[in-house]
A and B are shown apart, each in its own frame.
Chain A
């Protein structure tokens, strides 16, 4: 073992973590490429530990739609498709570009407004959230939270696992001094995920979700089905 070898052996952990500085990486990789069983073995050990480190990330359940996206993306022929635009289509593209330029100013104006609104929503999203805790009538895996700004009435609700039973729908309620008021039906995706942005949810002491017939509870009244989750925000 050469005197320089220990130095390389000590770099294996940083290499496995992808943290080697450029100055160290090139000589290290050259050393390993030249063949060094001791470093190879140490790299394998460190890589194993680094892979375990990945599990320190809070677990996230993959949405079912992601699998389809991935398999669709690799479903293309490996060499890629060859596109050949017929020359006659060229002028259509040019006309399209011209139209885009003419619409530009309007787009910029709309975009800046959209960006401002998105920023406001993002700020709300970064504010502390209150979880909607499942009631004894709600399934334990129901997960939801509400970000609520009392001063503006703006509310952002994020739902997960809200898959209603066949022929039923989840309805969101604001609980006010004068009683519950419907804020509408949830329209979750196949994974039971939904995000609801309410520009003005009014003054609410709590938010609650109930299980209702497909069209929701009769207008003007309160929940007719079981309340499955609730968050006190008052």
Chain B
């Protein structure tokens, strides 16, 4: 189950160009490289395997049709893909009642990782969890509520009973600290 050390598919930006031209092999290469991360993200947001896999399928179809819209200046390919998956996963959560969540659920925050996940994924997960553990608890909570639960800053302020200005500061400082702590960590 060990993932290849050398990411498949070569340069992800070149892959996106090829996908834009209708190259299915390029989509397969990008899929192989990013799906472990993207499925974990979807699973964390929607809380169950079946919905997460549906979200992934829809997201890759979206990538297939909108690869040309990726703008390198706005961040790495991984970030762009994560945004697509995250957005679809949050839509899925919003469109169903909480009763339908079978396992876990958004905000669960559990760290039980799938033993079948590759060693590379599990190691990266440990490093990011450690970095999150090292930042201020309020900052961490804000990042998690924003990223995994899709709350806007005013909603976070309401949830945490904190002033909006403070939440804005926590957001900015939290992400900045995470970035500093993970400096040198290769973008997935």
Query: Which residues of A are at the interface with B, using a C-beta cutoff of 8 A?
Result: 10-11, 13-14, 16-22, 24, 40, 43-63, 66-67, 69-71, 73-75, 78, 122, 125-126, 141, 143, 160-161, 191
A-B contacts, 19 of them at CB < 8 A, read: A10-B168, A14-B153, A17-B146, A17-B171, A18-B86, A20-B152, A21-B152, A43-B75, A51-B78, A52-B179, A53-B147, A54-B37, A54-B78, A55-B37, A57-B43, A60-B40, A61-B118, A62-B56, A67-B32
CB distance from B132 to the nearest CB of A (A): 6
Give the complex CA separation of A160 and B49 in angstroms: 13
Contact A55 B83 (CB under 8 A): no
Contact A59 B175 (CB under 8 A): no
Residues on the B chain within 8 Å of A125, using CB: 102-103
Residues on the A chain within 8 Å of B116, using CB: 61, 141, 143, 160-161, 191
Q: Is B41 an interface residue (CB 8 A)?
A: yes
Give the complex CA separation of A14 and B173 in angstroms: 11
Contact A51 B76 (CB under 8 A): yes
Query: Which residues of B are at the interface with A, using a C-beta cutoff of 8 A?
Result: 1, 22, 24, 27-28, 31-32, 35-41, 43-45, 49, 52-53, 56-57, 60-61, 64-65, 73-76, 78-80, 82-83, 86-87, 102-103, 110-118, 121-122, 124-125, 127-129, 132, 143-144, 146-148, 150-154, 156, 168, 171-172, 174-176, 178-179, 182, 185, 187-188
Contact B75 A48 (CB under 8 A): yes
Give the complex CA separation of A174 and B111 in angstroms: 30
Other than the known A10-B168, A56-B128, A58-B111, what 5 A-B pairs have Cβ atoms closer than 8 Å?
Answer: A13-B172, A49-B178, A49-B182, A67-B32, A70-B57
Contact B35 A62 (CB under 8 A): yes
Contact B82 A51 (CB under 8 A): yes
Contact A19 B156 (CB under 8 A): yes
Residues on the B chain within 8 Å of A71, using CB: 24, 27-28, 31
Residue of B at shortest CB range from A50? B79
Contact A60 B52 (CB under 8 A): yes
Give the complex CA separation of A14 and B73 in angstroms: 17
Residue of A at shortest CB range from B87? A18
Residues on the A chain within 8 Å of B40, using CB: 54-55, 57-60
Interface of B is mostly: helix
Residues on the A chain within 8 Å of B103, using CB: 125-126
Give the complex CA separation of A43 and B182 in angstroms: 17
Contact A51 B188 (CB under 8 A): yes
Contact A16 B36 (CB under 8 A): no
Residues on the A chain within 8 Å of B38, using CB: 54
Give the complex CA separation of A20 and B102 in angstroms: 30
CB distance from A25 to the nearest CB of B (A): 9
Cβ-defined partner of A60 (8 Å) among B1, B39, B129, B143:
B39
Residues on the B chain within 8 Å of A67, using CB: 28, 31-32, 35
Closest 6 CB pairs of A and B: A47-B75, A57-B44, A59-B117, A61-B116, A19-B146, A51-B79
Contact A51 B115 (CB under 8 A): no
Give the complex CA separation of A13 and B57 in angstroms: 28
Residue of B at shortest CB range from A56? B128
Contact B60 A52 (CB under 8 A): no
Contact A40 B74 (CB under 8 A): yes
Cβ-defined partner of B122 (8 Å) among A16, A53, A59, A161:
A59
Give the complex CA separation of A160 and B117 in angstroms: 11
CB distance from A121 to the nearest CB of B (A): 9
Contact A19 B39 (CB under 8 A): no
Contact B73 A40 (CB under 8 A): yes
Cβ-defined partner of B115 (8 Å) among A44, A47, A141, A191:
A141
Cβ-defined partner of A48 (8 Å) among B35, B45, B118, B187:
B187
CB distance from A139 to the nearest CB of B (A): 11
